Structures are given as structure tokens and as C-alpha cells.
Copies of this chain bind each other. A is one copy, B any other.
Amino acid sequence: MITVMAGRPRSFDRDAALAVAVEQFWRTGYDETSVATLTAAMGVSPPSLYAAFGDKHRLFEEAAATYFRRTCEGLDAAAALPTAREAVTRMLDDTARAHTDAGTPPGCLMLTEPRLTAQREELHRRLQERLDRGVRDGDLPPDTRTEALASFLVAVLRGMSGCARDGGTIDDLRAIAQTAMAAFPPPSGG
């Protein structure tokens, strides 16, 4: 079943426009990002935006999903490291870099936007899974409270994002990450 495509084709790149929307929502959040600024930044008139993305809320959801997918790729790469400690260390260092990258807005959309609770829960779930694997692999003590440790790590990540939004540098964020790793269980028994 192939849908027949007659009529005038779209004159802008939908993916490129969505990327611009991601950047806007990332920089100023959902509420502070108006449709007028979105259309201006995307180079698209309001009717075209609504035809292509539905409404502001659905555009945000699509933008947030895009952002989350990209974040998870980095997360999976870190999680693939041999031990939980290496995985978490890598994740924190990636975070320090990403949250202060000059080419993108400071901080993290997922960790800052109030309405993205579900994404943060998913992040927590993935973290805990990696920690549980560390327990199974024996590189974390068997009595490790993986859920509390995952909650702690999410809190630290959120704190790093907030620090970046407040103007913190990559070194500030690395100092937080390094200090946080002192709370990570040592490899040899707990």
C-alpha cells in the first residue's frame, strides 16, 4: 500500500527544522519558547509548522524524543565499558563535556524540563540496570544498593546540569563528577 503523493511538496527540511526546535527548547525550555520564536528560528511560517508537527506540544514531544534518543546513544556507549565504575566514570565525563559544549545550550533538556519526568525515570532505570549488571559481573559488591546509587547519580547529573546553566565551566562539572565518584563502591567488596 503506497500513498499517492500529489500536490505541492514541502519546501523545507523537516528534520533540519526539528533540529532547530530541539535547540530552541533546549535553550529556553517549553514555556519560555514561543511559537513565534520557533517559526522565526526554523524559517517556517506558522501554518507550515502546524501542518508538519501538529501543535506546540507535539513538536516539543518530538523534539524531546529526538534529544533523548541522541542522549541514549552516548549512554549506551558508556554502558558498554567492561565495569560499572568505568561506565559511570565515562558517563559523568561525557556529561561534563556535553553540558558545557559551546556549540549547544548549557545544561541538559531532559534533566531541566519539568515535564520530562518520564525520561528521567527511564534514565534511572537504565542506570540501575547497568549497576545490577556490575553486581552480577562481580565488579560491584553484592550488597550494593543499586536503586539508591542510581537515584544518587541522577541527582548528581541534574546538579551538574543546573551548575552548567548557572554558568559553571567544564572544570566545575568535572570537580562535581570526581567528588561524586568517591561515593561509588570500591571494586573489592563492600
Name A residues whose Cβ lies closer than 8 Å to a Cβ of B. Answer: 31-32, 111, 114, 117, 120-121, 145, 147-149, 151-152, 154-160, 162-163, 165-168, 172, 175-176, 178-183
Contact = CB atoms under 8 A, between A and B. Distances in A.
A158 B31 CA distance: 21
A166 B31 contact: no
Contacts of A176: 148, 151-152, 155
B179 A148 contact: yes
Given A154-B163, A155-B159, A159-B154, A182 B179 contact: no
Given A145-B175, A175-B145, A151 B180 contact: no
A155 B156 contact: yes
Contacts of A148: 175-176, 178-179
The dominant DSSP class at the A interface is helix
Given A32-B31, A120-B166, A166-B120, A179 B159 contact: no
A7 B168 CA distance: 51
A85 B136 CA distance: 33
B183 A180 contact: yes
A135 to B, nearest CB: 15
Given A148-B178, A176-B148, A163 B155 contact: yes
B165 A114 contact: yes
A111 to B, nearest CB: 7
Greatest chain B CB density within 10 A among A149, A152, A165, A175 is at A152
Counting from the closest, the 8 A-B pairs by CB-CB distance are: A155-B159, A183-B183, A152-B179, A148-B175, A182-B183, A158-B159, A159-B159, A117-B166
